[in-house]
Chain A
Amino acid sequence: MDFRTCVNIQKEWDIVGARQFGRDFSKKLGFGIVDQARIATAISELARNIYLYAGSGKICFDEVENVGSRGICIVSLDTGPGIKDISQVMEDGFSTSGGLGAGLPGVKRLMDEFDITSKEGEGTEIRVVKWVR
């Protein structure tokens, strides 16, 4: 966790920066081009949620290891309004990006692990992991 790198998200342009960092990082970890594209798309969704709903926050990247396999861990952190009904936003068809994005269910599909904690009025933390195959 010491080497965690974070990209701040404030402007729409920052989404591109986060994608770029995530893609380079996942390439370095040994992900193939399909998984690189999936990871970049997941980062887009997370960063867009911060940009649209929280105003500002950050996307942080870590390398993780588990019995011989390597992976990327991405954490999205914001201090926005939080999510009142998590079950609802995790439902297919209920996209928080106004139907344009894949939403959080999409992020869950793109990655191997998904975890969300949110408190109304305090913010949201989403942690996702993908393992190199």
Chain B
Amino acid sequence: MDALKLDLSHYRQLLKQYIDTQDESALYEAEQISKRSIQHNISLEEIINTHINALEGIYPDLPENIQHSMSFLLEVMISYGLALQEFQDLRESQLEIKSEISVAARMQNTLLSTVKPEVEGFDIGVVSVPANQMNGDYHHFIHHTDGTVGITVADVIGKGIPAALCMSMIKYAMESFPSEHKNPSEILESLNRVVERNVDPSMFITMFYALFNPAASTISYSSAGHEPGFYYHAADDTFEEIRAKGVVLGVTDTAQYRQYEREIHVGDMIILLTDGVTECRQGDRFIESEEVLEVIKSFSHLPAQELVESVYRHFEKLQDFHLRDDFTLIIIKKDV
């Protein structure tokens, strides 16, 4: 417990110096002793004991009542010292947990990694940043042989490790679907059954699934209660919410999802996101979705990747570099 002991004679000499002179330099030295003691895990009661011994060394005729009072102090500090040790041990185990989580986070990044498609005539930008180490947002691109691309954006209600575990399951469920199975409504219906059967009822997953056909300049999509994205019309410089009806995944095993389709015109943008973007907070205030669109617009002259990164940096700064929720933003621009 006390492998290292305080240097009693040094302590006694300093204590005497201070009693004689009330010199600040002795107090500064006392501070150093305190810090060294923490470093070397010297217990609180050991310090008090050293003090008692030093005092008795300086004043061999220390009155008995003072001696008793010091023993009393020592006794009072025992439980306090114990609590401090417990705190130190807990801090160490917290560090262990943290490093385990960072390993898990790296693993998650590998498991859930996806390749952003390079599509002629389009420019695509993606940013996805977790609030904590593990991401509860998920986005994925599926490259079909016919040149179409499946795009998934999902959010587990809740953050951290449970959300991340849930996402890994979603990814593998989707990979097990046959490759000809690519209609957004069918995919959401199949996934809904997987989630309903396998995920804790307290956990909800929202998902937006789109099938992007670059050759035809169309996108068809369905949504399972996901935060609506936006469509930017270059012709009249306006944004339109991409509305899609559908219940959150996992609520009922018979859920049906409507599928929508739209054509993408030159200069237009498709903006897909999670609520970490639209529910950014400035102090206690939630920002309005108009503000998100304003910011997107102000950077819209940039290439898609720079655009999404600039938007992210803007909101990161607005929230004092402390994200409250996982942040995922995907923008698809049709080249002019």
Residues of A within 8 A of B (CB): 32-34, 37-38, 40-41, 92-93, 102, 105-106, 109-110
Contacts and interface: CB of A to CB of B under 8 A. Distances in A.
B82 A106 contact: yes
Contacts of A105: 86
A38 B49 contact: no
A92 B90 contact: yes
Max count, chain B CB within 10 A of own CB: residue among A34, A41, A102, A105: A34
Contacts of A110: 78, 82
B79 interface: yes
A34 B74 contact: yes
A34 B86 contact: no
Contacts of B90: 92-93
A106 B86 contact: yes
Contact of A34 (B49, B79, B82, B93): B49
B45 A37 contact: yes
B79 A102 contact: yes
B298 interface: no
A37 B224 CA distance: 64
Given A34-B74, A92-B89, A109-B1, A41 B49 contact: no
A34 B75 contact: no
Nearest to B89: A92
B85 interface: yes
Q: 5 nearest interchain CB pairs?
A: A34-B49, A102-B82, A41-B78, A106-B82, A37-B78
A42 to B, nearest CB: 10
Contacts of A92: 86, 89-90, 93
B279 interface: no
A44 to B, nearest CB: 9
A53 to B, nearest CB: 19
B302 interface: no
A109 B75 contact: no
B60 to A, nearest CB: 17
B43 to A, nearest CB: 8
B89 A41 contact: no
B157 interface: no
Contacts of B74: 33-34, 37
A105 B90 CA distance: 12
Contacts of B83: 102
Nearest to B83: A102
Contact of B78 (A32, A38, A93): A38
17 contacts: A33-B49, A33-B74, A34-B74, A37-B71, A37-B78, A38-B78, A41-B79, A41-B82, A92-B86, A92-B93, A93-B86, A102-B79, A102-B86, A105-B86, A109-B1, A109-B82, A110-B82
Contacts of B46: 34
B82 A33 contact: no
A41 B74 CA distance: 11
A30 B58 CA distance: 24
B85 A38 contact: no
Contacts of B1: 109
Nearest to A95: B86
Max count, chain A CB within 10 A of own CB: residue among B46, B82, B86, B93: B82
A69 to B, nearest CB: 15
Contact of A37 (B75, B85, B86, B93): B75
Contacts of A40: 75, 78
A110 B75 CA distance: 13
